Amino acid sequence: MTTLTEVAKLAGVTAATVSNVLRNRGKVGVATRQRVLEAVDTLGYRPHLTARALAEGSAPTLALMVSSIANPFYPEFALAAERAARQSGRFLIVCNTNEDPAIGRAYLEQIAGTLSEGVLVMNANLDFDDLRKTQARGTAVVLCMWERPDAPPGMPCIAVDFFAAGALAARHLLDLGHKRIGAIIGSQADGVHAARYEGFCATLREAGIAHVPAEARFTRDSIQGGYEAATELLTALPEVTAIFATNDLPALGAMHAAADLGRKVPEDLSVIGITDIQLARESRPALSTVAVPTEAAATMAVRLLRALIDGSAVGALMQVAPAPELVVRASTGSARNRRS
């Protein structure tokens, strides 16, 4: 490993000077600068990031806390976050908490403020208390997808209006003439998908459509969860002509359930999800959904984190990401076509 000092020696200057030319601190003579650059080149010198971090008192890494990177939504977010991080010269450490608050806490304790100056929190089932403790120790934290712009969490976050997303989906179904609409919620009633479901319910209510608890199912946020819930729902309530799922994965599962029950999508049943993950485009039929601004949220989150770190932003700021948008594809159709 070549060190700064070695480069300095070769160039006949001192380490400080080399450092200066490398950081473009100006105040270095053009001739010396040239010599230093040559030395760097012939020695193949690369700065030691760890040493630099220690000296600067800051680390070039950001941590992304996520329940499991294997959930199809997260990689898309992670990819965008990593790109944003890289563009500002940082590296991204992924921390899968596996929904286990203990793992999350352990990560936070180890990494925050020492290996990484900032933490991106993506739905990792973390204790708010732990997060606050992390903040208190001087580490920047931003919640990446806060579901309620109307109720700031008292912590820096990027908010995505999931209530609106739910409302958008409901409106689309309503416009298509659906009146009996099943709902599949990919979390507990008070879980992360609550706002979406509320948006859905509110819109139905405004339209004078009754939505009763019997038409809703709470399940896991997965294809399999959606499959099970939809199977149950459609069996119990065959008169349902459309299904609203709070996420694309359960929506996909609902399509499978419909197929197994002999109901064609969209002729016999419309299905809509939320998020617009890659798979939504690639399913058969392609899934209608409400697109959520994943990339924008990731970019904003990284930017906010950086601002928090360098002190150009302070306090509990919330930034609202662009509004969700309806994406009509092939899984939703007019209610009139239903063959019963």
Partner DNA sequence: CTGAAAGCGCTAACAA
Partner DNA sequence: TTGTTAGCGCTTTCAG
Interactions with a second copy, residue window 214-233 (CB under 8 A): 223-224
Residue 20 touching DNA (CB under 7 A): yes
| Whole-Å CA distances, 19 to 26, 37, 60, 310 | 11, 11, 17, 21
The nearest distance, CB 65 to DNA, in angstroms, is: 22
First CA to last CA distance, the chain: 74
Task: For strands 140-146 and 118-122, give the pairing.
Answer: parallel
Given candidates 27, 89, 311, 340, which one binds DNA under the rule CB under 7 A? 27
Interactions with DNA, residue window 52-111 (CB under 7 A): 52, 54-57
Give yes or no for a contact between 195 and 166, defined as CB atoms under 8 angstroms apart.
yes
Distance CA 133, CA 130 (A): 5
34 binds, among DNA, a second copy, none (CB under 5 to 8 A by kind): none
DSSP H helices in 156-263:
162-175, 194-206, 223-236, 248-260
The smaller minimum CB distance to a second copy, of residues 62 and 204, is found at: 62
Distance CA 72, CA 251 (A): 13
The smaller minimum CB distance to DNA, of residues 138 and 154, is found at: 138
Question: CB within 8 A of 281, min separation 6: which ones?
Answer: 287, 329
Stretch that binds a second copy, among 32-40, 109-117, 156-164, 296-304 (CB under 8 A): 109-117
Residue 91 touching a second copy (CB under 8 A): yes
Given candidates 9, 43, 47, 261, which one binds DNA under the rule CB under 7 A? 47
Interactions with a second copy, residue window 162-221 (CB under 8 A): none
Given candidates 156, 182, 199, 253, which one binds a second copy under the rule CB under 8 A? 253
The nearest distance, CB 40 to DNA, in angstroms, is: 10
